[in-house]
Chains A and B, each alone.
Chain A
């Protein structure tokens, strides 16, 4: 009987406001840790799969979780390397059964699967570049006013180029700032691709000229019908040595549009045969990339005046060793192909901000921030306890602030917000103002005892709402200032103070009422 009454009292203690807080807290835990909680999952996460590899063809994809290789359980990175160790030492093809959450994949290959893996992240919280590592570039047009539609085109072309280069996990978005300037923001998580600057800032103007006449220009919708990329029609032709350094020649076929082919025929029709080299015409086909001569090709006599759509493009790479020259030629070929496919931009680009951040410090950094947060909360609770001498109230304050952090993190993972340093500063700011407001509530409950509790709480809320609106409006300009690079601060602060005013503060008020009664 006594027990039942106590239970009824317990029930009474939780008002609907407190229930809302508990429900929000529960859902936030779910969004932060995922269902089932990711820290309980065993295995390794596939972070990338080489396209065109056996692994890809057999259905392994980024984001899958490998739990078993052959009969060996895989629950850590060490397990993963151990299970593959020694298997591909001989050059013979072997059978490998990879078990993922989605099912089994069987690979026959003489090479280790072309995938990269990592430990399963413990939470769904996404860290920003400045904490997780990666690269970020802010690009603008030189001497050209990018309007919002031009910047969208730029984003499309850049996306294409990055795809052509096989760069995944990349975010390309248009951003604008308070003065109405438009930029393109490129963010790449993880390793920074080599030549990123080149890929991004290249105008990519490709021109093929005979003398001063343009035969064709790059871009699939313009003069180029298609670009060969298969091994048969493209590749490194030969390598050689000259004067102590090596060079390699590459070549690939392209197919011109009907119109460009006719232009080619008209121009070549007017050319003479080279008297010194009677197999070729007197002028060469010059290939220009961003106004720089890349290569000059002889034009065979048989092509004179002919409408031909197939044209061979060639060029070379150099290096100190043959291997270097080979890689250089391959890269140049890749770049040229990409530019021929994606076409050029009508303006030059300038990278105005380029950050490449190592993932090395991030982990320790996150640890030190957590430590700072915990220490700060501890100090706050000691002060509050010393001032009010009430254990329950101090505990309630600590619990509320802690809930607030969890709810902010929950919402951040729900909207897939990348937590960067400004965002974390925002969370800290919110917790600070949150605690201040809870102190106001605690003091109001103690004052003017002849007034009803409800009346006193109403008064506390008048102050809190005032503080809320001043905080809210102060954050709004920051959403745009500085091309939005400090947006994170505004976003987490707004999430935080709004959560405060709608969820945690009302719940805390009810807790105080209950404790007060």
Chain B
């Protein structure tokens, strides 16, 4: 069985690269169209566009509320928060582009009582500020990525394997972004933090692979790759399981953590493809070419 897989991989690993390449191509085209249509690379929630997020700690029928708010506030969306165990509704989150004062007035009109800090929370971000937040967070992403790439190049000091690691991390982030857009997820500041986390998570397995292949003298190339694969898959699957369980628990409770965990899981799934197909194929190709010379 194992020999068969090895023989298959030896024969076809270059062709396997077609999978990530087609994914990447699709991603680029998709993001291009997305940008053309929305003038941005992702859907943003009010923490990045500016507006108000209000939480009311009451049992409120969210459909009725939405009907009421629909023509009174700008761009309203409503989510419910419920208890993990009893599934009983605990609060509603109202997000709108309107200002905090306006939102508060309209909500008080609907509820028929005052909203105080006892029964509600309000978060307001001005649109110019959130716009600059967004730009800076994207900039922070770019910087983080570049810094990471520099460390990788210093660490391995060989172009092709280093570039393979950086490419895998890049593909990972791009594919995750595409998936998130396809799901129609509105990204918050926390979501961008999740992408930052992804940079760290995705290069871990790539570093492991590259280190085992380049710096070990013992064993065949396939042996080294397979060893790295076993360790790396344990790492990624453990992470996916842990994040998945955490996601299940916070899902009803925290919108912020739900988004972070969802993006991480998507990213980790793509990491499997990008480390064990993209990166493995490139580094195997590189080592075999070098051995021929």
Contact = CB atoms under 8 A, between A and B. Distances in A.
Interface of A: 133, 135, 138, 140, 177-179, 181, 191-192, 350-361, 364-365, 368-369, 371-373, 375-380, 383-384, 387, 421-422, 424-425, 428-429, 432-433, 435-437, 439-440, 443, 447-448, 450-451, 459, 462-463, 466-467, 469-471, 473-478, 480-483, 485-486, 489
Nearest to A350: B126
Nearest to B241: A379
Contacts of A485: 133, 189
Contacts of B145: 474
A384 B76 CA distance: 45
Contacts of A440: 208, 231, 235
Given A369-B257, A376-B245, A459-B215, A358 B193 contact: no
Interface of B: 55, 57, 81, 84, 90-91, 100, 117-126, 128-129, 132-133, 135-137, 139-141, 143-145, 147-148, 150-152, 155, 189-190, 193, 196-197, 199-201, 203-204, 207-208, 211, 215-216, 218-219, 227, 230-231, 234-235, 237-239, 241-243, 245-246, 249-250, 253-254, 256-257, 260
B250 A358 contact: no
A361 B197 CA distance: 26
A466 B121 contact: no
Given A361-B121, A473-B148, A482-B133, A368 B250 contact: yes
Given A353-B126, A361-B121, A372 B204 contact: no
A372 B246 CA distance: 5
Nearest to B253: A368
12 contacts: A352-B126, A356-B121, A359-B117, A360-B57, A372-B257, A424-B257, A440-B235, A466-B155, A466-B207, A470-B152, A470-B200, A482-B189
Given A372-B250, A425-B257, A433-B201, A355 B124 contact: yes
Contacts of A177: 132, 136
B132 A358 contact: no
B249 A368 contact: yes
Contact of B196 (A360, A387, A478): A478
Contacts of B139: 178, 477, 481
A435 B207 contact: no
B235 A481 contact: no
A74 B27 CA distance: 65
A358 B91 CA distance: 12
Contacts of A354: 100, 122-124
Given A369-B257, A440-B208, A440-B235, A474 B121 contact: no
B238 to A, nearest CB: 5
A181 B193 CA distance: 21
Contacts of A466: 151-152, 155, 207, 211
B170 to A, nearest CB: 13
B118 A443 contact: no
A365 B253 CA distance: 7
Nearest to A471: B200
A375 B246 contact: yes
Find the residue from A422, A437, A450, A467 having the highest chain B CB count within 10 A: A467
A485 B134 CA distance: 12
A459 B213 CA distance: 12
B214 to A, nearest CB: 11
B207 A133 contact: no
Given A358-B121, A421-B256, A476-B147, A383 B246 contact: no
B84 A435 contact: no
Given A357-B123, A477-B144, A467 B118 contact: no
A475 B254 CA distance: 23
A512 to B, nearest CB: 14
A417 to B, nearest CB: 17
Contact of A462 (B81, B204, B211, B241): B211
A478 B148 CA distance: 14
Nearest to A375: B245
A487 to B, nearest CB: 11
A178 B25 CA distance: 33
A477 B146 CA distance: 11
A177 B133 CA distance: 9
A477 B204 contact: no
A469 to B, nearest CB: 5
B246 A422 contact: no
Contact of A486 (B124, B189, B231): B189
Contact of A372 (B120, B189, B190, B249): B249
A473 B155 CA distance: 14
B193 A486 contact: yes
A466 B149 CA distance: 11
A192 B124 CA distance: 15
Contacts of B203: 467, 470
A337 B137 CA distance: 42
B121 A352 contact: no
Contacts of A138: 129
A383 B148 contact: no
A441 to B, nearest CB: 10
A178 to B, nearest CB: 4
Contacts of A387: 234
Contacts of B197: 425, 429
Given A353-B124, A462-B215, A473-B151, A358 B235 contact: no
A358 B55 contact: yes
Contacts of B235: 435-436, 439-440
